[in-house]
C-alpha cells in the first residue's frame, strides 16, 4: 500500500515532534481522526503526563486525552529511535529569537537531524514551526537528501504553518483552515491529504514551502503592525486627554475598511513579538530592511516601560515614590483567560518595577505560580486586605472570568487598568471613579 493510500485509509503511523501548545493539540486531533500517533519530546515530564493521560494544555479536553491514551491511539516517548517506525512526521518545536533578535533554529535543526537519521522511503515530513521563508528547502531538505533519498520520489517534505490561538473558544486545531506547501507537487498532495483526513476545515495548497512559510509571517506581521498602531494611538491619546478605547470602539462601527485592534501593556505569546522578526532577518540577505516591522516591534517593546513610567507619575501625584511602594499586578498571563506566560509583558513590567525597587506581588487565577529570575513565586490570594495594602493595582491581563474586579474597584487606592477591563466587566469609566486610570 502506498503512503498516500495509508493516509487516506488512516492506517499510516504518525509522529509529532514537540508536545507543546502546537504539537499536543495536533497529536490529539490526529489520534481522534483514527491515526495511531506517537508524540516525541525531550522533556520527560511531558512524556510522563501524556502517557498517564494527564492534560497540561488548556485547549485540549482532558477526557479526550485520557480516552485516546487508554485506547492506544496516542502515546509519548523521548526515544527518537521510534521515528523510524512512523510513516508521517510533523515537527512542532519552538523557534525563538536569541538576545539579538536573530532566529534560533536549534530546535528545528535538532529535530530534523533526528528525522534524517531515521528517514525511510515513503515517509512524509511536515514542518509546522514558524520560521523564515526558505527554511524547509534550505535547512531541512539538504539534511534529508544526504541520506541518498530523493524528495518527491522516495520521501515527501512540506511546510504547513501552525495556526494556534490559545483560549479561542471558536477556532481550534480541528476547525481552523490549513495552508500547505510541498517541495514538489507530490509532496503537496501527500501533505494536503494528511490534513484533510484530520481537520474539519478547508486545506489550501500553495505552490511551494516558501509561500506557506511567508503566509504565516504575513499573518503575524499584520497583527504586530496593527497592535503597534493601537499602542501608538494610546500614547498620543493619553497626552491629548482622549479616551483611546472609546475612539477605537467608535471607529469599529464602520462596516468596511477598519479592523479593531486594542492597546495594552505590550504584546506576548509566541507569534506577534517573535515571528515577524524571522522575516526581518531573512530580508537582509536580499538587501532589504523591513522598516515598518522593526518600527512596530520597537513601539510594542516600549509599552512595558511606558506602563512603569505612567505608574511612577500616578504615584508621584499622590506624593509617593515608586521605590518601596507595594504594587499588585492583576494578571500575569500574556492574554486573558489562559495560563500561557510566553513573552508576557506583565513579566517585563514586573522586572522593571523590581529594578525601581518596588515591592511587587501578583494575582492570577490561571497562573498559580511563576518562575521569575530563577525563583518560584506564588500568586497571592485576591483579598480585601491585599488590595487595600497595595499602593497601586496594575491590571496587566484582561481575564474576563475568575477575577473579582468589584473588590478591586471598591478597595484599591490607585488602579492603573492597562486593558480597560473594568469598563467591560463593571461598566466603570475613569471619570466615574477618581482613583481609576486607563492606558
Instruction: Give the model confidence (pLDDT) of 166-177 as tens digits.
Output: 888 889 889 999
Instruction: Work out the pLDDT band at 391, boundaries 50, 70, 90.
Output: very high
Q: Is 90 exceeded by the pLDDT of residue 331?
A: yes
Report pLDDT for 322: 96
Q: Give residue-wise pLDDT tens across range 255-273.
A: 999 999 999 999 988 777 8
Catalytic residue numbers read: 271
Region 306-329 average pLDDT: 96
Cβ neighbourhood burial of 438 (10 Å; 0-12, 13-18, 19+): buried
- Predicted pLDDT at 166: 84
Q: Give 273's Cβ-side CA count (13 Å radius).
A: 20
Cα(105)–Cα(96) distance, integer angstroms: 8
Q: Is 429 exposed, middle or buried (0-12, 13-18, 19+ CB in 10 A)?
A: middle
- Once rounded to an integer, what is the mean pLDDT over residues 359-372? 95
Note the pLDDT of residue 196: 97
pTM above the 0.85 mark? yes
**Mean pLDDT computed over 118-131:** 96
The residue whose grid cell reads 494544555 is 57
Confidence band for 1, pLDDT divided at 50, 70 and 90: confident
Q: Could you give the angle at the alpha carbon of 193 between the alpha carbons of 192 and 198, nearest 5°?
A: 100
Beta bridge partners of 37: 14, 74
Query: How far is 227 from 221, CA to CA, in rounded Å?
Result: 10
- Give yes or no for residue 353 having a pLDDT over 80: yes
In the predicted structure, residue 432 carries a pLDDT above the cut 90: no
| Residue reference for cell 486586605 | 385
- The DSSP-derived string for 63-123 is HHHHHHHHHTSEEEES-GGGGGG-SEEEE-----B-TTS-B--HHHHHHHHHHHHT--SSE
pLDDT level of residue 290 (50, 70, 90 thresholds): very high
Sheet with 415-417, side-by-side order of all strands: 359-363, 326-330, 392-395, 415-417, 436-438
Query: What confidence score (pLDDT) does residue 316 get?
Result: 96
Amino acid at each position: 500500500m502506498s503512503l498516500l493510500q495509508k493516509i487516506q485509509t488512516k492506517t499510516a503511523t504518525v509522529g509529532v515532534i514537540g508536545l507543546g501548545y502546537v504539537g499536543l493539540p495536533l497529536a490529539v486531533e490526529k489520534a481522534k481522526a483514527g491515526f495511531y500517533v506517537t508524540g516525541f519530546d525531550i522533556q520527560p515530564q511531558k512524556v510522563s503526563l501524556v502517557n498517564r493521560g494527564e492534560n497540561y494544555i488548556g485547549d485540549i479536553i482532558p477526557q479526550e486525552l485520557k480516552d485516546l491514551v487508554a485506547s492506544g491511539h496516542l502515546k509519548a516517548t523521548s526515544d527518537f529511535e521510534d521515528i523510524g517506525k512512523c510513516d508521517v512526521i510533523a515537527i512542532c518545536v519552538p523557534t525563538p529569537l536569541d538576545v539579538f533578535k536573530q532566529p534560533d533554529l536549534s530546535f528545528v535543526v535538532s529535530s530534523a537531524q533526528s528525522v534524517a537519521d531515521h528517514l525511510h522511503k515513503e515517509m512524509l515530513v511536515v514542518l509546522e514551526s514558524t520560521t523564515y521563508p526558505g527554511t524547509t528547502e534550505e535547512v531541512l531538505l539538504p539534511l534529508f537528501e544526504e541520506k541518498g533519498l530523493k524528495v518527491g520520489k522516495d520521501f515527501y517534505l512540506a511546510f504547513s504553518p501552525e495556526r494556534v490561538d490559545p483560549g479561542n473558544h471558536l477556532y481550534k486545531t480541528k476547525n481552523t483552515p490549513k495552508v500547505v506547501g510541498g517541495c514538489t507537487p507530490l509532496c503537496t498532495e501527500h501533505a494536503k491529504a494528511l490534513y484533510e483526513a484530520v481537520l474539519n476545515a478547508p486545506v489550501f495548497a500553495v505552490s511551494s514551502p516558501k509561500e506557506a512559510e511567508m503566509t504565516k509571517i504575513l499573518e503575524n506581521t499584520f497583527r504586530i503592525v496593527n497592535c503597534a498602531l493601537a499602542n501608538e494611538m494610546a500614547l498620543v491619546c493619553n497626552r491629548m486627554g482622549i479616551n483611546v478605547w472609546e475612539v477605537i470602539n467608535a471607529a469599529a462601527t464602520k462596516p468596511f475598511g477598519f479592523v479593531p485592534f486594542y492597546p495594552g501593556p505590550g504584546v506576548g505569546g509566541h507569534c506577534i513579538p517573535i515571528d515577524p522578526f524571522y522575516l526581518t532577518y531573512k530580508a537582509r540577505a536580499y538587501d532589504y530592511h523591513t522598516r515598518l516591522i522593526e518600527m512596530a516591534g520597537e513601539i510594542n517593546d516600549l509599552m512595558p516601560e511606558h506602563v512603569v513610567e505612567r505608574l511612577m507619575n500616578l504615584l508621584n501625584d499622590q506624593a509617593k515614590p515608586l521605590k518601596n511602594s507595594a504594587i499588585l499586578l492583576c494578571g500575569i498571563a500574556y492574554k486573558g483567560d489562559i495560563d500561557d506566560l510566553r513573552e508576557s509583558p506583565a513579566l517585563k513590567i514586573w522586572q522593571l518595577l523590581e529594578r525601581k525597587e518596588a515591592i511587587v506581588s501578583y494575582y492570577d487565577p490561571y497562573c498559580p505560580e511563576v518562575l521569575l529570575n530563577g525563583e518560584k513565586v506564588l500568586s497571592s490570594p485576591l483579598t480585601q486586605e491585599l488590595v487595600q495594602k497595595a499602593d497601586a493595582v496594575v491590571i496587566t491581563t484582561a481575564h474576563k472570568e475568575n477575577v473579582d474586579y468589584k473588590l478591586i474597584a471598591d478597595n484599591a487606592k490607585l488602579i492603573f487598568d492597562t486593558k480597560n477591563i473594568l469598563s467591560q466587566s463593571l461598566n466603570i469609566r475613569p471619570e466615574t471613579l477618581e482613583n481609576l486610570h486607563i492606558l
